[in-house]
Amino acid sequence: MNFLRTTFMNGNKVKAYPNYWDMIALLLVLGVITLLAWVATQMAVPYELGQAIPISLDPHRLPGYALRTVLRMLIALCFSLLFTFTFGTWAAKSRRAERIIIPFIDILQSVPILGFLSITVVGFISLFPGSLLGPECAAIFVIFTSQAWNMVLGFYQTIRSIPSELNEAAKMFHLSAWQRFWRIDVPFSMPGLLWNMMMSMSAGWFFVVASEAISVSNQQILLPGIGSYITLAIATTNMHAIGYAILTMFIVILVYDQLLFRPLVAWAEKFKTEQVVEETNEAHSWVINLLHRTQFLRYLGTQLTYIFDLFVNITFLRSKPVHSHPLRASSYVRYISWLWNSLLICLVGGVVVFLYNIIFRSIPIATVEHVFLLGLATALRVFVLVIVCSLIWVPVGVWIGQRSSVAHIVQPIAQFLAAFPANILYPLVFILIVTYHLNVNIWVTPLMILGAQWYIVFNVVAGASVIPKDLLQVADNLGLGFWLRWRRLILPSIFPYYITGAITAVGGAWNASILAEVVSWGGHKLVAYGLGAYITEQTAKGDFLHISLGIAMMCLLVLIFNRLVWRPLYELSRERFTLD
């Protein structure tokens, strides 16, 4: 390779030979890749069902456990991003696909983590017999289900709210659908997508305990990781081990924030739709500053950019005009619409028949009514807490989002707090309830919103950060008062983002009820009245029929509330509060 080759960067002629900054950056990159590759080899070791995987509470084992957990979460995040780009774009571009995908996402985000795990773990173990890769894939899939849904809904919402002038520009430049996706859709959605990715990583931490402690065939598989470490610490009432786990989580979140998310946030500053120069401090990252001081790696970056441009500008993906008779086109559209509606009706009917034959014919109607009442009790907790969190965190999120210097400080703190598993607070909640004889149905409720509230925070921060500065300056020039400014500018601007965060927060709170409504510490257990506790108890018994009833009831309630409450608000935000 010719290391003395030259290239042009920002109009300057630059030598493409390595300097000592290249050496430092290369050592950093190779170090991260080597660690992840070594951890990946540990995920495919031989394993037979029933074989005990030793988990130690020795704090010296925590760095290795943390690497295993982080690798699972990064793999799940990559699949979540691919899933988001595929189905979020499809739902935003096609009305027929939207009618299937969005209700399907509403249902999936309400399915409990334990439900996904109990259904898929046997299949993954059968897919990789005699290897630990089967349980590892099951854990990655469960983490994926905790990450993907809010990313899809956020990406779908931003694509639907792209300003009309950008759409007109795409038509004027004759961009194909492929080029438009990479040149307009992804850049416009990047600020909000990054905040949702950070929230998804934190959501993965919140459910990491459930994903790494797998129950199959009345046996428990503890995969090496921080989640299984916390599970063992809770079972043995080891407070020192829980403290070590919290410290390790904080360090790990800080590290990948500095190496991954902080550089991405600084890079995404260029995608904000601004017509005036922002006077506040821009995002900075020492990783980006290090790469800017390199020469050879910057040269490689220009070559990768060139390759990416070739990838985006693939000509055979350009859509070609289709000339057809208007009557034939109209009949074809009606036929496709009829076929799509028939498929939807058959799908819903099949699900209803399945539930009736498998569940309701085998379970007394009194049990179904009891489970329905349990669901209403959990629903009451969820909506009260979402309203309270909205009143608290919407003003805070707007304040953070409009101050980039504050956002850079709050970002890693919010990631850590959002990643805090509810299980770690079990000792504190258990001691408070037992010592002061508190009502367990009330005082376990905050555990449900512990992770779900951050969906609202992250989405509101993302929405406030992309409010055009020229609109804020116009409000200042007109001398708008505090309430008028909020009512006419800020609330309409963040409303689509808030609705996306509220929908995912509700789904996350329903999911978190499984962890929150049963508090265990050592051999003691406190059980609240609710659907989450019912699913947890039936999972412990291995009663698949009643597990299915609980999951079906939770999905039904979430779907009804989303259709009656959140989806009309979502349509209202799209029709009236887009920045056009």
Question: pLDDT tens digits for 539-550?
Answer: 777 777 888 888
Give the pLDDT confidence of 63-84 residue by residue, as tens digits.
999 999 999 999 999 999 999 9
Reduced to 3 states, what is the DSSP secondary structure of residue 466?
coil
Task: Give the residue, 216 or 353, on which the prediction is more confident.
Answer: 353
Task: Give the residue, 523 or 320, on which the prediction is more confident.
Answer: 523
Q: From CA 154, how far away is CA 501, in angstroms rounded?
A: 8
Give the pLDDT confidence of 123-144 residue by residue, as tens digits.
888 888 888 888 899 889 989 9
Residues forming a β-bridge with 14:
7
| pLDDT for position 398 | 93
Under the banding of pLDDT at 50, 70 and 90, the label for residue 391 is very high
| pLDDT for position 551 | 84
What global pTM score does this model have? 0.79
Using alpha carbons, list the distances in angstroms from residue 443 to 72, 175, 422, 446, 511: 33, 55, 13, 7, 18
The CATH classification of domain 57-272+337-576, taken from the options 1.10.150.120, 3.90.1150.10, 1.20.1250.20, 1.10.3720.10: 1.10.3720.10
Structure tokens at 84: 């988001």
Residue 358 has pLDDT above 90, yes or no: no
Q: Where are the domains of the chain?
A: 57-272+337-576
Task: Give the residue, 22 or 412, on which the prediction is more confident.
Answer: 22
Give the pLDDT confidence of 153-186 residue by residue, as tens digits.
889 988 888 888 888 888 888 888 898 999 899 9
Give the pLDDT confidence of 242-263 residue by residue, as tens digits.
889 989 988 998 888 888 888 8
Q: From CA 141, how far away is CA 147, in angstroms rounded?
A: 10
> What residues contact residue 95 under an 8 Å CB cut-off, 6+ apart?
none
| pLDDT for position 317 | 46
Give the pLDDT confidence of 178-224 residue by residue, as tens digits.
989 998 999 988 888 988 898 888 888 877 877 887 766 566 788 89
Nearest to 48 by CA among 152, 124, 131: 131
Nearest to 577 by CA among 509, 492, 497, 454: 492
Q: Calculate mean pLDDT across residues 332-357.
A: 68
Residue 14 has pLDDT above 60, yes or no: no
Give the pLDDT confidence of 547-579 residue by residue, as tens digits.
888 888 888 888 788 778 877 887 787 777 766
Under the banding of pLDDT at 50, 70 and 90, the label for residue 280 is very low
Q: Calculate mean pLDDT across residues 406-432.
A: 77
